[in-house]
């Protein structure tokens, strides 16, 4: 298997190849939130990149999660906290979801052979699924407004480490080496390490630092969200 990591959606055109499996990661917080919805029984997630589209869904009666700049949008039912999406609220329902960075990254990679959403909360399920189906994998970091982010890069390193426990993989890419190096420095205590990151400061400013702890905890769920091209929705991969 071949593995690569792309630090920003804006760089994806320079990383993609035919037959790629793309894993979209937005550690703080869209990936964990999307995993939580599906783990709590949402039947599908409709990822939309812009606010106006989310509002149109809302007016048609859909449940809508919408976040910009780390805050819930006024019109929405939920924000971008994984704790918002309880089983009581989402089981059996479709949820429309738009966030500052995560849904943009999903949009960029919709033409990939497989598109998964992954993060620490579902890493075991994700690695297992990846090993089953992928020939070449790209971790696509959502970043922040197309800027590289510490937490997404870190996850790239952690994913690489986990993948190598299961399968031999080619690590030619400089980006993979950078991510692995970062993970080696952070792995003793990722939360502490990330307290210095740009986005952690944003989370604190918005009073949601508990989310950060959840977002870094491994294997709290066991679903792998996959993009279903036919329906244009994210569903649980089987």
Residue 71 within binding range of a second copy, rule CB under 8 A: no
Which of 185, 189, 210, 232 touches a second copy (CB under 8 A)?
185
- CB of residue 237 to a second copy, shortest distance in Å: 29
DSSP state of 147: B
Interacting residues of 19 by C-beta distance below 8 A, sequence separation 6+: 113, 135, 136
Task: Output the CA–CA distances (angstroms, integers) from residue 205 to 70, 116, 208, in the order listed.
Answer: 9, 30, 8
Which of 31, 119, 130, 153 touches a second copy (CB under 8 A)?
153
Which is it for strands 63-68 and 71-72: parallel, antiparallel or unpaired? antiparallel
| Burial classification of residue 185, based on how many CB atoms lie within 10 Å of its CB (0-12 exposed, 13-18 middle, 19 or more buried) | exposed
- Name the nearest CA neighbour of 150 among 173, 181, 172, 107: 181
Which of 17, 145, 210, 219 touches a second copy (CB under 8 A)?
145
Site string for a second copy, 199-238 (x = CB under 8 A): x---------------------------------------
Which of 39, 63, 175, 212 touches a second copy (CB under 8 A)?
175
Rounded CA gap, 19 and 218, in Å?
28
Residue 177 within binding range of a second copy, rule CB under 8 A: yes
Q: Which of residues 14-33 bind a second copy (CB under 8 A)?
A: 14-15
**How many of the chain's residues bind a second copy (CB under 8 A)?**
28
Q: Which two tokens stand for residue 122?
A: 């579902």
- CB of residue 123 to a second copy, shortest distance in Å: 21
Which of 63, 150, 215, 223 touches a second copy (CB under 8 A)?
150
**Which residues contact a second copy (rule: CB under 8 A)?**
7-8, 10-11, 14-15, 144-150, 153, 172-175, 177-178, 181-182, 184-185, 196-199
């Amino acid at each position: 298997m071949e593995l690569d990591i792309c630090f920003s959606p804006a760089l994806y055109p320079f990383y993609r190849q035919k037959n790629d499996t793309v894993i979209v990661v937005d550690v703080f917080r869209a990936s964990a939130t999307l995993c939580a919805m599906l783990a709590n029984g949402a039947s599908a997630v409709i990822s939309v990149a812009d606010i106006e589209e989310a509002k149109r869904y809302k007016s048609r009666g859909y449940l809508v999660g919408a976040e910009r700049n780390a805050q819930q949008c006024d019109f929405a039912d939920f924000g971008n906290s994984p704790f918002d999406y309880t089983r009581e609220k989402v089981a059996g329902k479709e949820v429309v979801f738009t966030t500052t960075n995560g849904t943009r990254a999903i949009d960029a990679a919709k033409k990939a052979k497989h598109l998964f959403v992954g993060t620490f909360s579902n890493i075991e399920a994700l690695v297992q699924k990846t090993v089953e189906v992928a020939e070449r994998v790209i971790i696509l970091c959502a970043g922040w407004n197309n800027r590289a982010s510490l937490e997404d890069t870190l996850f790239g390193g952690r994913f690489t480490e986990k993948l190598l426990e299961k399968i031999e993989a080619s690590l030619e890419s400089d980006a993979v080496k950078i991510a692995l190096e970062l993970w080696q420095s952070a792995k003793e205590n990722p939360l502490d390490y990330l307290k210095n990151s740009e986005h952690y400061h944003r989370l604190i400013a918005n009073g949601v630092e508990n989310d950060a702890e959840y977002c870094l905890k491994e294997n709290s769920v066991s679903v792998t969200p996959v993009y279903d091209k036919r329906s244009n929705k994210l569903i649980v991969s089987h």
